[in-house]
């Protein structure tokens, strides 16, 4: 049995994580035919959760939003017409329940910004917006949750377009955040030569030792880091760039990519000091630039199969509890950018 009330976090005002507060709220008494009630066990955080808390997220966000896009948990109740799930199944949610297959058509609909998120003890989902983990899954709840946003995004960068990654190709990751490290693990398992950039030699050393990245470039000590990337690839450039930096790094990413290579626009961590001439740079490289919005349900299913088949472990670096103090510590750690990987909040 479960309680009639639950604890739920809300962004009470978008002026910093200190305003992410816990509330006691009623659990729904009734499930619609195709709904399930999930006891959430783990929520992983992403850079966007800081942006939502700070009011800087560049997409619609509802007032008093429940933050968080990534949850893993167990089904505790199912609606009368739910066929594919049963009580006890371990599940993860989709980042965007409207993104099922193919090019995204719907307006933005993502948990923790334009629709209510997952930082709560329980959540009602429609049965189309969750995926089941295999009964013999090796993943912890934290690792499974980490796949929802960072994992699916990285998978989309490699396998989401016609220019799909082929074993032996080279992939460049900008920074050592959640998308990069999760992507690095996936890319290596798929047979990539990998290059990562960072502001910190300590982080690079850590990533080399722990994840076996092939080449490291410090973008502070090498402001012209694209030249180091070109050197590392014997003058050719990389096949894929996972572009987390945004307007401040795109010109250098275009300089780093090989003729005909692919750049996936993922992040907005940096600002350009002057606007680069993207049109000419893209044209002369014959490059493909793709905008990424995490990924579809179909891509997420592929990712879960791959991770299960390869028994991959996900990069959970710091674990926190569900009290307000612990949740604020988790946000503080995320904002400090002093980790190479993911942060999880374990939900009581």
Of 163, 162, 216, 169, the C-alpha closest to 188 is: 169
* Whole-angstrom distance, CA of residue 144 vs CA of residue 151: 9
User: Are 259 and 237 spatial neighbours (Cβ–Cβ below 8 Å)?
Assistant: yes
* Whole-angstrom distance, CA of residue 181 vs CA of residue 177: 6
What is the SS3 assignment for 46-102? CHHHHHHHHCCCCCCCCCCCCCCCEEEEEEEEECCCCCCCCCCCEEEECCCCCCCCC
User: Are 146 and 41 spatial neighbours (Cβ–Cβ below 8 Å)?
Assistant: no
Per CB under 6 A, residues contacting ligand NAP are 46-48, 149-150, 153, 174-179, 197-200, 203, 244-245, 248-249, 266-270, 292-294, 334, 337
Output the smallest distance, CB 198 to ligand NAP, in A: 3
Nearer to ligand NAP, 294 or 347 (CB): 294
Nearer to ligand NAP, 74 or 290 (CB): 290
Output the smallest distance, CB 78 to ligand NAP, in A: 30
Nearer to ligand NAP, 54 or 293 (CB): 293
Burial (CB count <10 Å: 0-12, 13-18, 19+), residue 251? middle
Nearer to ligand NAP, 140 or 197 (CB): 197
Output the smallest distance, CB 83 to ligand NAP, in A: 30
Element containing residue 264 per DSSP (H, E) = strand 257-265
Output phi, psi for 86, to 5 deg: -140, 165
Output the smallest distance, CB 175 to ligand NAP, in A: 3
**Cβ-closest residue to ligand NAP?**
177
Tokens 């993207």 belong to residue: 278
Nearer to ligand NAP, 225 or 322 (CB): 225
Output the smallest distance, CB 116 to ligand NAP, in A: 19
Output the smallest distance, CB 28 to ligand NAP, in A: 29
Nearer to ligand NAP, 74 or 328 (CB): 328
Output the smallest distance, CB 217 to ligand NAP, in A: 10
Of 86, 174, 163, the C-alpha closest to 130 is: 86
Nearer to ligand NAP, 47 or 322 (CB): 47
For residue 289, the cross-strand partners are: 263
């Amino acid at each position: 049995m479960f309680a009639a009330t639950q604890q739920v976090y809300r962004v009470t005002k978008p002026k910093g994580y200190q305003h992410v507060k816990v509330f006691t709220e009623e659990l729904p008494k009734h499930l619609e035919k195709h709904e399930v009630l999930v006891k959430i066990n783990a929520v992983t955080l992403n850079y966007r959760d800081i942006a939502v808390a700070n009011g800087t997220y560049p997409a619609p966000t509802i007032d008093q939003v429940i933050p968080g896009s990534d949850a893993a948990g167990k089904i505790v109740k199912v609606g009368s017409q739910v066929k594919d799930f049963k009580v006890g199944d371990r599940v993860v949610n989709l980042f965007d329940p409207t993104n099922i297959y193919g090019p995204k058509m719907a307006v933005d609909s993502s948990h923790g910004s334009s629709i209510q998120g997952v930082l709560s003890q329980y959540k009602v989902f429609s049965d189309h917006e969750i995926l089941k983990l295999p009964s013999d899954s090796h993943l912890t709840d934290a690792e499974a949750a980490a796949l929802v946003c960072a994992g699916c995004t990285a998978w989309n960068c490699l396998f989401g377009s016609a220019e799909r990654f082929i074993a032996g190709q080279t992939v460049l990751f900008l920074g050592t955040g959640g998308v990069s490290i999760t992507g690095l693990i996936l890319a290596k398992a798929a047979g990539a030569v990998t290059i990562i950039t960072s502001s910190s030699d300590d982080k690079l050393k850590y990533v080399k030792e722990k994840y076996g990245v092939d080449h490291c470039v410090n973008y502070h000590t090498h402001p012209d880091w694209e030249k180091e990337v070109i050197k590392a690839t014997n003058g050719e450039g990389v096949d894929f760039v996972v572009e987390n930096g945004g307007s401040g790094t795109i010109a250098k990413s275009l300089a780093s990519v090989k003729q005909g290579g692919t750049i996936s626009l993922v992040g907005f961590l940096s600002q350009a000091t002057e606007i680069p001439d993207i049109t000419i740079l893209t044209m002369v490289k014959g490059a493909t630039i793709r905008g990424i919005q995490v990924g579809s349900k179909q891509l997420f299913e592929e990712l879960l199969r791959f991770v299960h088949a390869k028994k991959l472990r996900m990069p959970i670096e710091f674990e926190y509890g569900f009290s307000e103090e612990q949740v604020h510590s988790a946000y503080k750690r995320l904002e400090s950018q002093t980790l190479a990987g993911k942060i999880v909040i374990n939900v009581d």
